[in-house]
A and B are shown apart, each in its own frame.
Chain A
């Protein structure tokens, strides 16, 4: 049974993939809210930089971002006298989070814009401050609208983690390559890989829909 021989190494890799997905999705969500709310703002000093960051990370290849952070940043850091030699895990998390965060920012902005203007006018009439309107009126209504798209992004992110195998991080795809190199058994290894990613995606999808029900619970109250 070859797949039993491969399983321990693949499970070891799966653990790294899960960790990486967890870190980068949570950090990516923070980035998404930061940039998304920033882009929604009418203040140019906040709006413009956020828009620039979103465009940069959405408009360049994730693989190149990853290589840049891993191979180019340390050399640049040395030139300006800083140690920017990030650990593979940190470099991977950062690239994934910034990339997924840039996509997420547009989801956040879109959902905030979809909040009916009457709601904002009512808040103004009741003398809510800008911050109060955002936290008490806009976000609670926008959040449930974001969840289906966030679910998509989280699963996308899980699958994107396979790219980190190219910066020597021992994730699922990396372990699979190692086994394949040693055994040349591409069919078994890649089939197991598909199934394992699919299993993880199902779990993640269930978690996200649970979270979606949670943030929308106030509607049924």
Chain B
């Protein structure tokens, strides 16, 4: 009888948690991380935001800044983890890592799931097209036409943009990571790959078969041109870590070193200026306005 009851209780917990869906693990505090002597930071292998090079070293705007912040907080060791982009938030929730340094865009929906630091960067959108741009693409809204296909990365916010621009699902192809983008576009499985301008430029430099669409028009959603602000991401419950990182980040952003890191990874003057114009609170609060 008792066995059956415990079994039932367990089953209810299982079902309940599945129904809730938002349950998450109590996250590590700064003290616990210091005690452990190492912070676990995840990247999604996206050049130039956060990636791992051939020697296994983490590079990119996120990791390079994160290294300075960890040092400022007195954390000596960083354990870099690589996950696919769509596994970053689930990984934080399951306590697989303490922080994500992927310059993940600060979006209202994501603010409900995880915590964000203040913005570390800002970036616009772009399109990767086959060399010569045979279909003359330069605007996300073109993909609402029936015979055009656009590729996006699983879990990336380009999905929301395309949805807002009424691009039908049949015209969208989802790929797992940036490494697949060039072949997807070059072999004609999609007419273009929609990603941030930095990703597009980086990919375009890797192959003769593709290029960055010239004359690209920033998508306009709710009357505003789209721009994203990227920051570091934490699990709910990591508020103390988030605050300490924020303090260190605010200080570091005043140094020429910070600017140099962003410039080195291809962020434009406008990107750097824009990154300071919004606070995370403002970016998260957009939820109230957009349905």
A58-72 vs B: 1/0 string, CB under 8 Å?
Answer: 000000000000111
CA distance A196 to B207 in the complex (A): 27
Per-position binary interface string of chain A over residues 75-119, scored 1 when its CB falls under 8 Å from any chain B CB and 0 otherwise: 110111000010000000000000000000000000000000000
Q: Which residue of B lies closest to A181 (CB)?
A: B179
Contact partner of B54 among A71, A182, A186, CB < 8 A?
A182
Q: Which B residues touch A178, using CB under 8 A?
A: 45, 52, 82
Give the total of A residues in contact with B, Cβ under 8 Å. Answer: 26
Given A181-B47, A181-B177, decide whether A166 and B87 contact each other with a Cβ distance below 8 A. Answer: yes
Give Cα distance in the complex from A193 to B17, angstroms.
Answer: 40
Give the residues in chain A near B42, CB-CB below 8 Å: 168
The answer to whether A75 touches B56, judged by C-beta atoms less than 8 angstroms apart, is: no
Beta-carbon contact of B51 and A182 below 8 Å: yes
Please give the number of chain B residues whose Cβ is less than 8 angstroms from any Cβ of chain A in the complex: 35
Q: How far is the CB of B236 from chain A (nearest CB, A)?
A: 12
Smallest CB separation, A183 vs chain B (Å): 8
Q: Are B56 and A9 closer than 8 Å at their CB atoms?
A: yes
Interface mask (A157-189 → B, CB under 8 Å = 1, otherwise 0): 000000000111000001001111111101000
Given A166-B87, A182-B53, check contact A75 B25 (CB 8 Å): yes
Residues of chain A at the chain B interface (Cβ within 8 Å): 5-6, 9, 70-72, 74-76, 78-80, 85, 166-168, 174, 177-184, 186
3 closest Cβ pairs, A-B complex: A181-B179, A74-B94, A184-B206
Please, could you name 27 A-B residue pairs with CB atoms under 8 Å apart, sorted by A? A6-B54, A9-B54, A71-B90, A71-B91, A72-B94, A75-B23, A75-B24, A75-B94, A76-B14, A76-B17, A78-B23, A78-B26, A85-B25, A85-B94, A85-B95, A168-B96, A177-B179, A178-B45, A179-B54, A181-B45, A181-B51, A181-B178, A182-B51, A182-B54, A183-B54, A184-B206, A184-B207
